[in-house]
Amino acid sequence: MVVISDILVQGAQMLLVLLLAPLLTGFVRKVKARLVRRQGASIFQPYRDLLRLLRKEVVLADNASWLFRVTPYVTFAAIWVAAALVPTFATGLLFNWTADLIAIVALLGSARFFLALAGMDVGTSFGGIGSSREVMIAALAEPAMLLIVFCMALVAGSTQLSTVANFLGSSYVGLRVSLGMALVALIMVALAENARIPVDNPATHLELTMVHEAMVLEYSGRHLAMIEFGAFLKLLLYISLIVCVFLPWKIAPLGAGSLAYAVGAGLYIAKLAVAGFLLAMFETATAKMRVFRVPQFLGAALMLGLLGTLLLFVSRSF
């Protein structure tokens, strides 16, 4: 019975992230529109977009290779697996021990690796410019992310996300300077990784100003749907990660009753809504920065992560 309920919880979380991801993006878009006094599309518009893209034919560039056609699925799968390993409303996932936080970061790295290769596959300048800028951002965001992971792992004594969430949620951790630094750094990395303002603009359609969108410019139809879906999932993943580590209240522990699960799920959606609202507020209030100021932005995240980790290393001896 325990195994069955574990499988159910794991399966429910996997489906939940899949179902909620477009809704979150729709919600952020809607709030952004309302904040600038536009009506905005329905919050269910991303679902309609995905369905429309799925029904359309794929227009493939003449010299696109098999790699270009495989990439959308590989990317989507890697992000989905990563997202399924982040506790949303319940910790103690069945396959929690499959991959720890470092592996989740690396899985997202795999997704980006293939996407950046696909950007170069057709051989246009737009794909190239997108890919080269994406890997530049990644080359700074990934080490920053790893240092944040170090920071959290040193506090919790584990790199297993469920253990980290349980530790930070249950016992009295208190206000730690290094955790604060990690949170700020994590938010900065999350903005960069999800191609949000101020690093990249998800809404722009001027090719030269965009990074992520330029990289996937050649994609269409169901391929584009998979990539868009991957992007939605990634945003949800990062918000879930921040929420489960820094706001782990009422996440149902292993073997909790169905009431705890329901409370956890309800609160999780509420937390997502708050985070999405804050994201929309932030994006409306800031302007996109020049691409070569991004290294300074991410360098700051890297330094915050390093500083937080150093503080933990140093403070252990006391």
Partner 1 sequence: MSAVVLQMACVAGLLGLAVLAIVLSRAKAATAIVYGATLVLSAIALIGAIRWLLGGTANATDLTLPVGLPWLGAHFRLDALASFFLVVVNMGGAAASLYGLGYGHHDPAPHRVLPFFPAFLAGMNLVVLADDAFSYLLCWEFMSLASWALVMAHHRETGNARAGYVYLVMASFGTLALLLAFGLLAGPAGDYGFAAIRAASHTPYAATLVLILMLLGAGSKAGLVPLHVWLPLAHPAAPSHVSALMSGVMTKVAIYGFIRVIFDLLGQPTWPASVVVLFLGGITAVMGILYAMMEKDLKRLLAYSTIENVGIIFVSLGLAMAFQANGLKLSAALAFTAALFHVLNHSFFKSLLFFGAGAVLTSTGERDMDKLGGLIHRMPLTSFAVLVGCVAISALPPFNGFVSEWLIFQAVLQSPDLPQWALKITVPAVGALLALAAALAAACFVGAYGVTFLGRPRGVAAETATEVDRYSLAAMFILATLCLLAGILPGPVIDALSPVAIEILGGRMPIQANEPWLSIVPIAESRSSYNGLLVMVFIAISASSAVYFIHRFASRALRRGPAWGCGFSDSTPAAQYSGGSFAQPIRRVFGTLVFHARDHVDMPAPGDIRPARLRIELHDLVWEGIYAPIAAAVGYSADRLNRLQFLTIRRYLSLVFATLVTLLLVLAIWS
What residues numbered 74-93 form the site for partner 1, per CB under 8 A? 74, 76-78, 80-81, 84
Q: Does 55 interact with partner 1 (rule: CB under 8 A)?
A: yes
Specify the residue, 141 or 179, whose C-beta has the smaller distance to partner 1: 141
CB of 3 to partner 1, least distance (A): 13
**Among 60, 184, 260, 267, contact with partner 1 (rule: CB under 8 A):** 60
Any contact of residue 125 with partner 1 (CB under 8 A)?
Answer: yes
| Phi, psi values for residue 172, rounded to 5° | -85, 100
Least distance between partner 1 and beta carbon 157 (Å): 7
Does 100 participate in binding partner 1 (rule CB under 8 A)?
yes
Task: Quote the CA–CA distance of 94 and 84 in Å, as a whole number.
Answer: 10
* Nearest residue (CB) to partner 1, 151 versus 197: 151
Interacting span for partner 1 (CB under 8 A) from 31-39, 40-48, 151-159, 267-275: 151-159
Closer by beta carbon to partner 1, 2 or else 57: 57
Cis amide prior to 198 (ω within 30 degrees): yes
**Minimum CB distance to partner 1, residue 294 (Å):** 9
Q: Give the distance, in angstroms, between the CA of residue 187 and the centroid of all CA atoms in the same chain.
A: 10
| Complex with partner 1: residue 117 or 263, whichever CB lies closer | 117
User: In a 10 Å sphere around its CB, with 0-12 CB exposed, 13-18 middle and 19+ buried, how is residue 47 labelled?
Assistant: middle
Amino acid at 129: I
- Are the beta carbons of 46 and 22 closer than 8 angstroms? yes
Is 217 in a helix, a strand, or coil?
Answer: coil
The answer to the question of residue 253 lying near partner 1 (CB under 8 A) is: no
Nearest to 212 by CA among 221, 224, 222: 224
CA distance 279 to 239: 10
The dihedrals phi and psi of 306, each to the nearest 5 degrees, come to -65, -40
Residue among 35, 61, 254, 300 that touches partner 1 (CB under 8 A):
61
CB 64, min distance to partner 1, A: 8
Interface with partner 1 (CB under 8 A), residue total 88
Residues 203-242 that bind partner 1 (CB under 8 A): 207, 217-218, 221-222, 225-226
- At 171, list the tokens: 């016992």
Q: For the purposes of burial, counting CB atoms within 10 Å of the CB of 314, is it exposed (0-12), middle (13-18) or buried (19 or more)?
A: exposed
* Secondary structure (3-state) at 224: helix
Asked whether the CA dihedral 290, 292, 298, 299 is positive or negative, the reply is negative
**Residue numbers 101-120 binding partner 1 by CB under 8 A:** 102-103, 106-107, 109-110, 112-113, 116-117, 119-120
Q: Which stretch binds partner 1 (CB under 8 A): 5-13, 35-43, 67-75, 254-262?
A: 67-75
Interaction of residue 177 with partner 1, rule CB under 8 A: no
Site membership for partner 1, residue 121 (CB under 8 A): yes
Q: What are phi and psi of 309, to 5 degrees?
A: -65, -45
Q: Does 154 bind partner 1 (CB under 8 A)?
A: yes
Does 243 bind partner 1 (CB under 8 A)? Our answer is no
Which helix (H) or strand (E) is 16 found in, with range?
A: helix 2-35
